[in-house]
Structure 1
């Protein structure tokens, strides 16, 4: 797996991924890497099918690298979800041949939930939006960090 510095060396669009067992949220940024936008979610079932589906999206979106959210505990430790995300990222890198990096997703779901509460998004609509919004937040946070690295 690559570090953020490896992603910084690439040029062009990035794909942000919030990998989950049920749904995987997706976001993409503009070629200048200023703004992340959610593009939806996939529910392929199983890690291998998810890798294939995300690889297809990466090709369709013509991205140069992929950022996968890493679920880290508040104390900085990693649990079983983090291990599963690392496996997903490794398989995705092998499948696509692209730079795939991990980015700390702490507080992402909480931030997404707070936003959805403020916009009064409830029920089924909330379920379909939260993973996409989480991917968008992960990617935007990564873009902000990349700007800092490049300055």
Structure 2
């Protein structure tokens, strides 16, 4: 017994999410098409200061009318949260509070490896294109979230 309201219709047919692969030196950034089907890399933010990081993210969020941040969480191979995962959570909580956006985390294990393999397949040197790896990893993180979200909705 659910009634369709305009906001729930928007939720099912449209999502504007930003995928982030947060690192100490760079943040890979990905977005999705308006239907929420396909994620693609947007840019790589080269971190200089927290304030500058926030300003650059604000600009992208305003341009793309972002509703949610999807952040890769680097679990250890045994599934635990290590130092880097806690660092990512701390950064993300600060960013989300300032930007007033909800956050969802995605297990990002092996996304950087997958991104490197994608570059190698395209005959692009991973060692010379770290920013591109971060951007591809962010797209993989966001795509995983979009696919999971779509699967959950199809089960309802």
Alpha-carbon offset, residue 48 of structure 1 = 4.5
- 1:61 and 2:73 correspond: no
> Which residue pairs with 1:120 in the alignment?
123
Q: In structure 2, what is the Cα distance between the partners aligned to 1:37 and 1:74? A: 26
Contact 2:24 2:47 in 1 (8 A): no
Query: Residues 9 and 85 (structure 1 numbering): CA distance in 2 closer, same or farther, change over 3 Å?
Result: farther
For 1:78, what is the secondary structure of its paired residue?
coil
Unaligned 5+ segments in structure 2 are 1-10
Structure 1 or 2, whichever has the larger Rg, is: 2
Find the counterpart in structure 2 of residue 73 from structure 1: 76
Partner of 1:37: 40
Moved over 6 A (4+): none
After TM superposition, the structure 1 = structure 2 runs for residues 112-151 of structure 1, keeping only pairs within 5 Å, are: 112-122=115-125, 125-151=128-154
State the partner residue of 1:106.
109
- Partner of 2:129, secondary structure, is helix
Cα-Cα RMSD? 2.0
Contact 1:13 1:28 in 2 (8 A): yes
SS in structure 2 opposite 1:142?
A: helix
Cα distance in 2 for partners of 1:112, 1:94 equals: 29
TM-score after normalising by structure 2 = 0.84
SS of the residue corresponding to residue 101 of structure 1 reads: strand
TM-score, normalised relative to structure 1? 0.86
**Contact 1:51-1:91 at 8 Å conserved across structures:** no
Deviation at 1:127, TM superposition (A): 2.1
1:69: Cα distance to partner? 0.7
